[in-house]
Amino acid sequence: MYNDLQNANPYAAGGVAGAVATRNKVLRNTYWLLALSMVPTIFGAWLGLQLNLAAMRPGVSTIVFLVGAFGMMFAIERYKNSSVGVALLLGFTFFMGLMLSRMLAFVLGFSNGASLIMLAFGGTAIIFGSMATIATVSKRDFSGMGKWLMIGALVIFVAALANIFLQLPALMLTVSILAIAIFSGFMLYDVQRVINGGETNYISATLAIYLDIYNVFVNLLAILGIFGGNRD
């Protein structure tokens, strides 16, 4: 009889309660590692500015970025179940900081560049906080967004690559606006995946959410530079 009651009540068997505890642990570890990943990002950005990586030719920097980023992401997923995955993730965020220095150098060329960077940082924090809150409290299932968000990301990726050669300001602005919208949606999608148990590895979850934040910040900063940059 006792065994029958256990099977009928998942909380008694620790089923649902255990699943909730696991999800909370993954979410907590994800947020902790996400916060930690900002340290190598900031250091990488500072070092990139000191090394003047902005002087690197656009075509060369694009190749370095694509090879480095996708190579390291593959390695992170390969070792995501060990401490090596954490080290690789932190190395990846350092590399992304180095690549970010090109955009930072451009914006710092404005007299109000530092203010624009802080504004972009604050705007990104507000967007992430809003999306994470919606993902946490909403009863709606956002898993269906995944396919459309991925299609949108591929479209802007191709458009961004094309604009390296086309150099069209209107296309750059369009890509940046769409990227902010798409990766804000990814924030909602990726956080809810952890909350709903769709993602159980905190290293993979951190990588996904970090990329969402990074892309929103970079594109928001680009728009602020275009419309708010002051050369005086």
| Residue showing tokens 């068997």 | 13
Q: What is the pLDDT of residue 15?
A: 60
How many CB atoms within 10 Å of residue 30?
24
From CA 173, how far away is CA 156, in angstroms rounded?
Answer: 11
Spans in the chain with pLDDT lower than 70 = 1-18, 232
Would you say 214 and 105 are in contact if contact means Cβ atoms under 8 Å apart? no
Angle at which helices 202-228 and 15-50 pack, to 10 degrees?
Answer: 40
Which pair of structure tokens corresponds to residue 114? Answer: 């530092």
Q: Report residue 208 as tokens.
A: 């996904």
pLDDT for 167: 79
Q: Which two tokens stand for residue 130?
A: 């809003």
pLDDT score, position 1: 42
Q: pTM of the predicted model, to two decimals?
A: 0.89
**pLDDT score of 14:** 55
Write the CA distances from 81 to 18, 24, 28, 29, 204, integer angstroms. 20, 18, 17, 13, 9
| DSSP 8-state assignment for residue 11 | T
Cα distances from 183 to residues 18, 28, 148, 187, 188, in angstroms, run: 31, 21, 12, 6, 9
Alpha-carbon distance 100 to 94, whole Å? 10
Inter-residue contact 51 to 85 (CB < 8 Å): no
pLDDT of residue 208: 96
What pLDDT is recorded for position 11?
A: 42
215 by Cβ neighbours in 10 Å (0-12 / 13-18 / 19+) ranks as buried
Three-state SS for 9?
coil
Tens-place pLDDT, residues 141-177: 888 898 999 999 999 999 988 887 887 888 889 999 9
